[in-house]
């Protein structure tokens, strides 16, 4: 049954004889044509009907209300019609779109641009039209005077269908076109609007036109399920039945008991609690229905009876349309239609076969579809077509596997992706078991989907596929690397905001899901490094490796901040060690070839291979998580060696008596010269004959460390636990901190140690990490414990402490002396206190130190170390395992079983720890333990065979780690001579 009311038209529309039309209350008419109306639409110039798949249109003529019903002769079976300002758009059963000629209504033709596309929905405005394809792409055509096509500013009008690129990847549920504005709703209820906005009909809070789809943020998480556009107003319906309206209200069409425009979506209060099931907008009036009560409400312009209340008025609040005489229990309401001056309600009897909804959805993937594919019930051609549709479309995938329980997918935001992860896992597992299916899926994803992804997704829903695809790719046995590489490049091309959003999604993933993501990119990185270690080279390998490592870096950042159960060790790529071993062998091979006769071609091949390996190392150093500490130290040494070998060393002529002053003077001169700190250094102590083969420079930095601690300028402050920090009171000599930084950087660059006990906080700051309260506890235990106790105290105790926001008379915040520390703000006080100690109080001191450090160590490779690793590299290991020194020793002109050697080790292990350290200074020029322990020290004991050995002292060749030990007659003589040597011999015996 069809009910209608509004402006006068031909009685019965030509669908049946006028005398068969039933007249009810308030000008409402009803009729039951012999051939039932399955769908209809009313516009400004036409009313269109669909019966048995055939279309008839009635032209609305202002001078002649007796327009003739015209049948359109088409071969297609039509399922949907939408009438706009001057014409209509038809949708055939198989998804084919036809446009009705506005002058010759019986003539229809397909629009250009939609060839071979299956359309799911159509919409029509005054002068523009929209079509949503079954793979989730939105096409538009017509006038673009106000940006209603959504094709960016100044885009011309178009007769052919154009894709709205700005919505690519968004899974759309419904489209709607108004006078000169357009709207879409996503599957998760996100609303996008664009076009004319003179009355606020876009709901964006202003009256500025939009030329591209724009999110209506005020409707986020309102569970919007449908939208309808009028001439210059818009109405939305939430899943719970709440109606929001906005835009022009001059005729009362917003239902807010006023005739004012609304620029923001506003609830129609009169309908609150009614659980509205459908809303539709005419040009200047609005209709809503409540299915449970079979009531229809109307509001807005009723000057031609289109409100169904029997009055020619404008009504600003919803009132029921009286259908009591027309509708009985046999009929159920199906659809509301509002035109310019007409209103319609379509009903069906319970026993009648209702037509399929003309609002078809985009094809998405779900467990049911996968089960059907796996079962093979459909032909392979049908299955293949569906696979191509779903897996070639970002929108289709982004609309798949939504978590519908408790409407969770409607809460999609930057923190909630809306996916049902368990369903994804089980569904993909089924798909991966079928080789034929997965082969087709891989092909479509690789060659169609991934190349189509854009760097600027329209919203958070467009990022779901970056969560889905890794789960699919991770289960592949073949082509995994190619797909992973393609996906990595697409992730990295995302704009910064989208990448940040994706990282947020990763941080909220279940642990096992995130662990699988890490495993995927870790495995691919490891395999590539393994291939390179076996001699494979090439630009593609390099690019893929960089991309995989970049993704791992993003994941590492996520795991460090939110997933403590995924540890650093899960990111270490052990194949890096193999690569470094290969590089070491290649360097040795090259050295051998340079010393022998070999062909230029062979030599060139090895040189190229070495350079390629160095290139890979330079990539790896940018990703600190990828290598363990030992490998990182090797990479540092390789890069350091490669760089230093390229330059002639800087010679530092130093007087022992004025070591610090001479050093600073030389550094000042170096800064003004063309020679940089890349050159490395050689130390010459004035008046001594020693040649620096690393021993002299090791002693130089050891002595310099002591001088810096005793510097009369008091640059450094020694705390009660012997740790050293910048002196916050030293505010005038910033250059002093700069030269301190250069000295520390030079020590690191030249692979030496500084014997200054800086806290871990310094190395965090150098690596741009923030020190914490635990770091303060290392530097100043008493202060830190007081702050920790403050955080635990009861409120009364905190108040009795009478603390304010100052430290040592310095305000932590403006007017800090007037702000008392309370239980509420104490965490802020502690955070500011820690920040003051490590940052604010020494801001300039650290700034100059950091600049000097970076210049002194010009290779930024040091940034690959974690703070603890960098600390150990500069200070040396804090662990003195003396057994490691014994185990690393080798012997010349003697053996470990000789009496002399046994006596030496007996005496050595009898020494106090201080004497053992003196022995290290005697032998190596420094008592620092290398990173990795004393096993990294090269110790060679040479037994000298000169006459009268009991009158000779032991000698040290520091540059070679060689101890020259006379063949003493007994252990007591050895003990006395060795103690004397390590205690009084400040100048090395032999260099």
Token pair 């690397």: residue: 481
Q: Please provide residue 376's backbone torsions phi and psi, each rounded to the nearest 5 degrees.
A: 75, 20
Active site residue 959: yes
Which residues make Cβ contacts (< 8 Å) with residue 615, sequence separation at least 6?
542
CA 333/CA 889 separation, integer angstroms: 95
> In which region does residue 686 sit, left (phi positive, over 0), alpha (psi from -120 to 50) or beta (all else)?
beta
CA 651/CA 610 separation, integer angstroms: 30
> In which region does residue 12 sit, left (phi positive, over 0), alpha (psi from -120 to 50) or beta (all else)?
left
Each residue of 280-296: b (16+ CB within 10 Å) or e?
bbbbbbbbbbbeeebbb
Structure tokens belonging to residue 482: 């190619």
Sheet with 119-124, edge to edge strand ranges: 119-124, 128-133, 138-142, 158-163
Residue in 734, 724, 718, 720 with CA at minimum distance from that of residue 760: 724
Structure tokens belonging to residue 939: 């110790």
Q: Please provide residue 48's backbone torsions phi and psi, each rounded to the nearest 5 degrees.
A: -120, 145
CA 100/CA 106 separation, integer angstroms: 7
The beta strand positions in 259-313, using DSSP E, are 262-267, 278-281, 285-290, 295-301
CA 588/CA 568 separation, integer angstroms: 33
Please say whether the beta carbons of 398 and 171 come within 8 A: yes
Residue in 74, 72, 105, 73 with CA at minimum distance from that of residue 88: 105
Structure tokens belonging to residue 789: 């106790």
**How crowded is the C-beta side of 405, counted as CA atoms within 13 Å?**
5
CA 743/CA 28 separation, integer angstroms: 94
833: enclosing H helix or E strand: helix 826-838
Report how far apart, in Å, the C-alpha atoms of 430 and of each of 57, 286, 366, 388, 471 are: 49, 48, 12, 18, 12
DSSP label of 402: B
CA 893/CA 416 separation, integer angstroms: 72
Report how far apart, in Å, the C-alpha atoms of 102 and of each of 8, 58, 96, 337, 789 are: 22, 12, 19, 21, 81
What is the distance between the terminal CA atoms of the chain, rounded to a whole angstrom?
A: 110
Q: Which of 65, 124, 959, 985 is catalytic?
A: 959
Helix axes 899-910, 971-984, angle to 10 degrees: 50
Q: Tell me the three state secondary structure of residue 654.
A: strand
- C-alpha 31 chain-centroid distance: 59
> In which region does residue 724 sit, left (phi positive, over 0), alpha (psi from -120 to 50) or beta (all else)?
beta
Residue in 112, 32, 134, 48 with CA at minimum distance from that of residue 84: 48
Which of the residues are catalytic? 959
């Amino acid at each position: 049954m069809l009910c209608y009311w509004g402006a006068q038209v031909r009685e019965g529309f030509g669908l049946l004889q006028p005398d068969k039309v039933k007249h009810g209350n308030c000008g409402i008419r009803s009729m039951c044509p012999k051939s039932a109306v399955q769908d209809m639409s009313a516009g400004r110039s036409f009313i269109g009907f669909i019966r048995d798949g055939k279309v008839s249109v009635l032209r609305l003529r202002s001078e002649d209300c007796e327009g003739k019903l015209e049948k359109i002769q088409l071969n297609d079976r039509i399922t949907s019609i939408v009438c706009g300002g001057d014409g209509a758009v038809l949708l055939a059963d198989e998804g084919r779109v036809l446009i009705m000629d506005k002058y010759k209504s019986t003539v229809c033709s397909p629009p250009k641009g939609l060839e071979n596309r299956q359309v799911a929905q159509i919409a029509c405005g005054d002068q523009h039209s929209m079509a949503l394809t079954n793979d989730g792409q939105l096409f538009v055509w017509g006038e673009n005077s106000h940006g209603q096509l959504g094709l960016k500013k100044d885009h011309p009008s178009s007769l052919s269908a154009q894709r709205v690129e700005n919505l690519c990847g968004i899974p759309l549920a419904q489209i709607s076109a108004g006078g000169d504005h357009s709207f879409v709703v996503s599957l998760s209820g996100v609303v996008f609007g664009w076009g004319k906005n003179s009355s606020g009909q876009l709901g964006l809070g202003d009256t500025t036109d939009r030329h591209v789809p724009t999110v209506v943020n005020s409707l986020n998480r309102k569970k919007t399920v449908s939208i309808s556009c009028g001439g210059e107003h818009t109405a939305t319906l939430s899943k719970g039945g709440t109606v929001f309206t906005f835009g022009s209200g001059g005729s009362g069409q917003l239902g807010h008991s006023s005739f004012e425009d609304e620029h923001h979506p506003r609830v129609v209060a009169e309908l609150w609690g009614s659980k509205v099931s459908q809303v539709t907008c005419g040009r200047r009036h609005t209709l809503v229905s409540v299915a449970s009560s079979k009531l229809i409400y109307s509001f807005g312009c009723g000057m031609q009876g289109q409100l169904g209340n029997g009055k020619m008025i404008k009504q600003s609040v919803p009132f029921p349309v009286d259908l009591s005489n027309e509708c009985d229990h046999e009929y159920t309401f199906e659809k509301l239609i509002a035109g310019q001056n007409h209103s319609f309600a379509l009903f069906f009897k319970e026993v009648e076969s209702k037509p399929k909804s003309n609002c078809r959805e985009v094809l998405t993937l779900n467990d049911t579809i996968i089960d059907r594919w796996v079962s093979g019930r459909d032909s392979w051609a049908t299955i293949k077509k569906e696979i191509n549709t779903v897996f070639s479309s970002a929108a289709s995938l982004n609309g798949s596997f939504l978590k519908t329980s408790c409407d969770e997918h409607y809460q999609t935001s930057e923190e909630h992706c809306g996916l049902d992860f368990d369903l994804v896992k089980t569904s993909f597992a089924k798909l991966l078991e079928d080789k034929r299916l997965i082969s087709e899926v891989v092909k479509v994803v690789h060659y169609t989907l991934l190349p189509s992804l854009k760097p600027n997704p329209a919203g958070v829903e467009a990022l779901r596929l970056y969560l889905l695809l890794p789960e699919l790719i991770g289960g592949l046995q073949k082509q995994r690397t190619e797909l992973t590489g393609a996906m990595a490049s697409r992730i990295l091309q995302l704009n910064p905001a989208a990448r940040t959003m994706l990282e947020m999604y990763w941080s909220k993933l279940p642990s096992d899901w995130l662990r699988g993501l890490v495993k995927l990119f870790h495995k691919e990185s490891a395999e590539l490094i393994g291939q390179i270690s076996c001699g494979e080279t090439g630009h593609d390998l390099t690019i893929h490796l960089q991309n995989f490592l970049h993704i791992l870096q993003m994941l590492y950042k996520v795991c460090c901040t939110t997933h403590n159960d995924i540890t650093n060790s899960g990111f270490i790529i052990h194949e890096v060690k193999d690569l470094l071993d290969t590089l070491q062998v290649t360097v040795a091979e090259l050295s051998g070839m340079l010393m022998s006769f070999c062909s230029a071609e062979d030599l060139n091949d090895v040189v190229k291979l070495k350079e390629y390996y160095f290139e890979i190392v330079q990539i790896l150093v940018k990703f600190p998580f990828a290598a363990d500490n030992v490998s990182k130290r090797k990479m540092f040494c390789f890069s350091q060696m490669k760089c230093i070998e390229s330059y002639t060393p800087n010679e530092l002529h130093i007087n022992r008596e004025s070591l610090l002053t001479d050093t600073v003077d030389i550094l000042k001169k170096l800064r003004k010269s063309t020679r940089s700190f890349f050159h490395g250094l050689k130390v010459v102590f004035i008046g001594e004959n020693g040649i620096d083969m690393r021993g002299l420079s090791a002693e130089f930095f050891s002595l310099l460390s002591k001088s810096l601690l005793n510097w009369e300028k008091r640059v450094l402050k020694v705390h009660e636990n012997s740790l050293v920090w910048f002196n916050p009171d030293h505010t005038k000599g910033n250059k002093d901190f700069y030269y301190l930084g250069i000295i520390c950087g030079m020590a690191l660059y030249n692979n030496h140690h500084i014997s200054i006990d800086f806290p871990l906080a310094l190395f965090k700051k150098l690596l741009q990490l923030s020190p914490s309260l635990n770091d303060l506890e290392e530097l100043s235990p008493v202060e830190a414990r007081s702050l920790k106790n403050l955080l635990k105290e009861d409120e009364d105790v905190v108040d009795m402490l009478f603390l304010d926001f100052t430290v040592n008379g310095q305000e932590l915040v403006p007017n800090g002396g007037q702000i008392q520390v309370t239980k509420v703000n104490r965490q802020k006080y502690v955070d500011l206190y820690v920040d003051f100690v490590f940052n604010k109080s020494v801001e300039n001191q650290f700034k100059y130190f950091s600049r000097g450090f970076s210049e002194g160590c010009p290779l930024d490779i040091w940034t690959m170390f974690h703070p603890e690793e960098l600390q150990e590299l500069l200070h040396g290991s804090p662990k003195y395992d003396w057994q490691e020194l014994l185990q690393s020793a080798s012997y010349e002109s003697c053996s470990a079983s000789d009496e002399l050697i046994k006596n030496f080790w007996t005496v050595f292990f009898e020494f106090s720890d201080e004497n053992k350290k003196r022995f290290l200074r005697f032998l190596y020029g420094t008592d620092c333990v290398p990173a990795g322990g004393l096993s990294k020290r090269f110790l060679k004991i040479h037994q000298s065979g000169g006459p009268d050995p009991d009158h000779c002292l032991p000698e040290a060749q520091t540059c070679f780690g060689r101890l020259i030990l006379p063949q003493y007659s007994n252990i007591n003589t050895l003990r006395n001579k060795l103690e004397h040597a390590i205690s009084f011999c400040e100048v090395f015996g032999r260099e």
